Amino acid sequence: MSVTSLAEIGALLGAELIGADARVSGVAALEDAGPSDLTLCFDWRRIPDLEKTRAAGVILPRRATGLHRAAPCAALLVEEPRLALARVLRHFHPEPVEAGCVREGARVEAGASVGARTIVATGAVIESGAGVGDDCRIGPNAVVASGCTLGNRVILGPGAVIGSCGFGFVPRRAGVVKIPQVGRVAIEDDVEIGANTTVDRATLGETRIGRGTKIDNLVQVGHNVSIGENVLIAAQVGLSGSVKIEDGAILGGQVGVADHVVIGAGAQVGAKSGVGTHVPPGARVAGYPAVEVKHWLENAFLWRRMRKLLKRLGGEGSRP
């Protein structure tokens, strides 16, 4: 077990230490931490738990002026608490260094390529003609289909499917005609794709996910979608065919995006939003249909006022 002083952790994080130094051997939640643990508190809403913590030290945001006075232990003040948490967790829980391997029950078909130090977990399939780069982790029962390529240091969660057929059909009176999906998927370096997420191959050309993008569990990426670099996509998002997500955009959980829509660089889309038109770079939108956040909040406020007015006039839904 790794044991480190708060002063050493402060040096690692570039943090200011307030209070006495102490030795810590792990990280725990406020309510679970013991005398040998480091914990964290992001804001004033956790004051009751902070005041009762038994931790040896707590990571606090520097911008929350005075928050450390509620702590019964030493405090480390940092600029970015979540980044500090990531660094501390890596310190106490370093990822094991494993040699690349294809584990029992996995299948790498003839004509597929797998890079150095890549791990292909039990039940995973790399189909013929697929290419996987170096230092990748292909989770249990994940699939990389024929013609699809993964860069280096790509992580696929359990059950992720790269290269499933796109949803292409022509409705006719005599029945529905399927459009063959003959394109590919290209995933760049340092992408992470969560459990049971599907990335459809293009009808023609390619579906592409840019470097450093992180995609949560249970996300649907449609055919011919283009996702830029360092994009964050939360769980249960659905991207229709030919959507374009530019660099640095963030999509909250359960966002739905209509086909051929462009979400600009750095834009943010609130959870459960339905996006049917282009979103400008840097915009913040929410709601169904998605509008600027300030307009969505105004609409929500006006709707509540309207409900109260209707009740005053004799009950909801009654006429004056």
Closest listed residue to residue 290, CA positions, set 254, 247, 242: 254
What CATH number does residue 8 fall under? 3.40.1390.10
Same domain, 37 and 116: no
Residue 166 lies in a domain: yes
**Residue ranges of the alpha helices (H) in 59-156?**
81-92
Q: Are 227 and 207 in contact (CB under 8 A)?
A: no
Q: Are 202 and 181 in contact (CB under 8 A)?
A: yes
Q: Is 93 a residue of the active site?
A: no
Residue 60 lies in a domain: yes
Same domain, 161 and 284: yes
Give backbone dihedrals phi and psi of 304, rounded to 5 degrees, phi first. -65, -40
pLDDT reported for residue 320: 45
Residue 133 lies in a domain: yes
Residues constituting the chain: 320
C-alpha dist (Å) from residue 245 to 137, 164, 210, 263? 25, 20, 10, 5
pLDDT along the chain (320 residues), means of 10: 86 95 96 96 92 96 91 96 94 81 94 96 97 97 98 98 95 94 97 98 97 98 98 98 98 97 97 95 89 70 72 60
Domain span at 19: 4-92
pLDDT reported for residue 96: 74
Residue 300 lies in a domain: no
Q: Which of the residues 91, 93, 223, 278 is marked catalytic?
A: 223
Same domain, 109 and 87: no
Same domain, 108 and 126: yes
Domain count, the chain: 2
Residue 112 lies in a domain: yes
**HEC string of 229-244?**
CCCEECCCCEECCCCE
Residue 318 lies in a domain: no
pLDDT reported for residue 287: 86
Same domain, 77 and 181: no
Q: Are 85 and 59 in contact (CB under 8 A)?
A: yes
pLDDT reported for residue 288: 83
Q: In what order do the strands lie in the sheet with 256-257?
A: 107-108, 125-126, 143-144, 161-164, 198-200, 220-221, 238-239, 256-257, 274-275
Residue whose entry in the numeric block shows the structure tokens 């499933």 = 164
Report how far residue 41's alpha carbon sits from residue 59's, in angstroms, rounded to the nearest whole number: 6
Same domain, 110 and 170: yes
